[in-house]
Structure formats: structure tokens, C-alpha cells
Amino acid sequence: MAVLIYGGLGHVGSWVARKLIDQGEEVIIFDMGAPRFDSLGLDYLEQVRDKITLEAVDVLDAHTMLEMALKYKNRIDAIIFGVAVIAGPTFKDRPFKNVSINTVGLLNALEVARILGVPNFVNLSSGAVYGDQPGGQTEDTPFTVTDLYGATKVANEVLATQYGATYGFDVRNARLYFVYGPGKRPEVMHPLYQAMFGPLAGMEGIHSPNGGDQQLDWTHVEDTAAGIIALLQAEGMAGEAVNISCGVAYQHRDIVERVAKLLGKDSGMELGPGPFTPRGAPLDIGKARERLGFAPRYADINDGLADYKAWLDKTG
Ligand SMILES: NC(=O)c1ccc[n+]([C@@H]2O[C@H](COP(=O)([O-])OP(=O)(O)OC[C@H]3O[C@@H](n4cnc5c(N)ncnc54)[C@H](O)[C@@H]3O)[C@@H](O)[C@H]2O)c1
């Protein structure tokens, strides 16, 4: 039986796909980026390309989505929904489009699960559902919305959970947080990401207008993917949400300094005052540790930075 990953060519989805394949699972990816697979730079997915079924599907095109899923009817045991326009300074520039991709896209995937009778569904959610409440947020911390992206994540969790309860399938919400690492080139990211991780790719002299006064639990993508798979495969967690992050909040200026130390040089990165985005940190990952046996391999960010540098060096 196969796991269907919507957004399986994205940063998180691609690592989930790779790790599932390493476990011997069958993986189907539906992603709008499919025609550009060869130019995405996902070397770890290229290595297993012959084991992936890949289709170009737009999650806003409900009919094609259903038609494509019907091609694999009776083979799909689980759906992971990982399509999103992620949080960032430009999300608010195209609100209708971005909110639609996140929420209507999820609704369409839930419809696929309902109509095809797919028994398991994991929705990739976010710690954004806690807004700017102070760190140590557990899964019982009430939802607080501080931006449009967060609104889509809260809406999606409520909708997904209720779909599962109404139509009798197992829905779980993985609350991820600030993912970095192999698969994501700093050059295509926002200025804060570039100021922190850009020097690992040779970037210099980036000025982030904000983020200097904030600490967040930046999480290595392989830990994120491992947590999602652990949630997918755990017994008896229907309807539950779980925080998945490294569990340690790092000051952004501290990350800049750690990168400089790793490289042995100052790349002239500057962070302006104030928060990058209204969030508290770190997420409490006690539930993931206890219920999923989740143990982030890169809880010490120095290890994660070294691994990221090695990937950037290798892939040029
Ligand atoms: N990256 C983070 O820091 C972070 C943090 C918290 C939660 N999350 C959540 O994790 C999930 C995955 O995030 P990511 O970082 O991998 O995002 P990403 O931007 O790297 O990947 C998104 C994927 O969706 C695809 N896509 C976009 N629009 C599409 C459409 N209309 N139809 C089909 N495919 C489409 C893209 O081609 C891309 O491959 C999202 O739900 C995101 O909200 C991410």
C-alpha cells in the first residue's frame, strides 16, 4: 500500500518521501512542481526517482485531483497533505491566492480521502496555531491567530479533524516549526533565513530588516520528516495533534554567530530589531517524545548547521 504525499516535492514533503522509501514504503507524489523535478536540486530524491510515482497536480483543481487519485484507487493507504504557501513576509501580498492554496487545497485533499475511502490522513500544520503565546506551548494551548498564514493553519486543523470524525477516517495534525536544512537553498528564501543560513552557501552582506530580537526553535528538516513519519505510523492517535520541532529556541543573532564560527569568518550579516514574525518559542515537544518516541537528532543546532553546510557544499 502507498502513501500519497501532496506537496511531496517541497522541502518537508521531499524528505518525508525519501525516508518512507528508505523504509520500503511505496510513495506517490502529487505536486504542481512535478514537470520541473530535474531542476529542483533534490539530489536525495533523484537517487530514488525510480521508486516514486510522480504526477503534476494542482490542489486547486479538484476534478484533476480526484481523477489522478482514482488512477491509484485501492493502492493508497494514507495521505499526507504538505502543500502550502508557507509563512513569510510576502504571504499577505496575495491573500486570496495564498489562503486558497492552503485551505481549499486541504479541503480538496480531504474530499479525495472521503470519496476514495483512504483510512489515514496527516495534515502538516504549524506552531503558528499558537500565535505569539510564550514558549513552552503544549498541544493544549488554545489557538491564537496572529497572521493570515496562522488563520489557514487553524482552519485546516479544525476542518481536517472534523472531516475525520464525520466520515470515519483517521486524521492527525503535525505541528511543525521553522524548518531549515538540505533541500532548501538560502538564495530563494526571505532575508532572515539568508542572514542566518546564507553564509553556508557563500552569501555575504545580507541585511534582514527584523528578527534580531527573537528566538525560535529552528528545526532540521530530517528531524521534522522523522517526526511526521512517527506520527503517521503511531498506534491510536486518531484526531490528535503533536508538536514537532527541535524543542530548543535559539536567538537569531546567536545562529549568525554560530555560522560565522563554523565558517571561521564573519560574512557581514545584519539583523534589524523586533521579531521576524509573531511567534513564541520553543514548542513543548514532550508529547512527541513520549507518544512517538521522537528524539531530534539535531537538537544541538551546531550539528544541524554542519550537516546543512555539507549538503550545500556537495550540491553547489
Ligand atoms: N517550512 C517551514 O518552516 C514550516 C513550518 C511549519 C509548518 N510548515 C508546513 O509544512 C508543510 C510543508 O512546508 P514546506 O516547507 O515543505 O513547503 P514548500 O514550499 O517547500 O513545499 C510546498 C510544495 O507544495 C507545492 N505546491 C504549491 N502550490 C501547489 C498547488 N497549488 N498544487 C500542488 N502543489 C503545490 C510546491 O510545488 C512545493 O513542492 C506546509 O503545510 C507548511 O505550512 C512548514
User: pLDDT band at residue 112, thresholds of 50, 70 and 90?
Assistant: very high
> Does residue 278 have a cis bond before it (omega within 30 degrees)?
no
Q: Set out the domains of the chain in order of their start, with CATH numbers.
A: 2-179+219-244 (3.40.50.720), 180-216+248-282+298-315 (3.90.25.10)
DSSP for 171-220, please give it. EEEEEE--EESTT--GGGS-HHHHHHHGGGGT----EESS-TT-EE--EE
pLDDT per position as a tens digit, 135-144: 999 999 999 9
Residue ranges around ligand 1 (CB below 6 Å): 7, 9-13, 31-33, 57-60, 82-84, 86, 101, 105, 124, 126, 176-179
Grid cell of 79 as nine digits: 495521505
Give CA separation, 66 vs 42, 82, 260, 276, in Å: 27, 17, 49, 38
Residue of minimum CA distance from atom 32 in ligand 1: 58
pLDDT per position as a tens digit, 210-261: 999 899 999 999 999 999 999 999 999 999 999 999 999 999 999 999 999 9
* pLDDT, position 284: 98
Residue of minimum CA distance from atom 35 in ligand 1: 32
- Centre of ligand 1 to C-alpha 84, Å, is 4
Give CA separation, 260 vs 127, 267, 269, 285, in Å: 28, 7, 9, 29
Instruction: For ligand 1, pick from 30, 32, 246 the residue to mutate: most ligand atoms within 8 Å of CB.
Output: 32
Residue of minimum CA distance from atom 12 in ligand 1: 82
- Centre of ligand 1 to C-alpha 206, Å, is 25
User: pLDDT band at residue 308, thresholds of 50, 70 and 90?
Assistant: very high
- Centre of ligand 1 to C-alpha 7, Å, is 6
Distance CA(214)–CA(283), nearest Å, equals: 14
User: pLDDT band at residue 316, thresholds of 50, 70 and 90?
Assistant: confident
* pLDDT, position 89: 83
- Centre of ligand 1 to C-alpha 14, Å, is 10
Average pLDDT, the chain: 97
Bridge partners of 179, per DSSP, are 219
Distance CA(146)–CA(140), nearest Å, equals: 18
Instruction: For ligand 1, pick from 55, 58, 65, 86 the residue to mutate: most ligand atoms within 8 Å of CB.
Output: 86
What's the pTM?
0.98
Instruction: For ligand 1, pick from 57, 176, 224, 246 the residue to mutate: most ligand atoms within 8 Å of CB.
Output: 176
pLDDT per position as a tens digit, 34-50: 999 999 999 999 999 99
- Centre of ligand 1 to C-alpha 266, Å, is 32
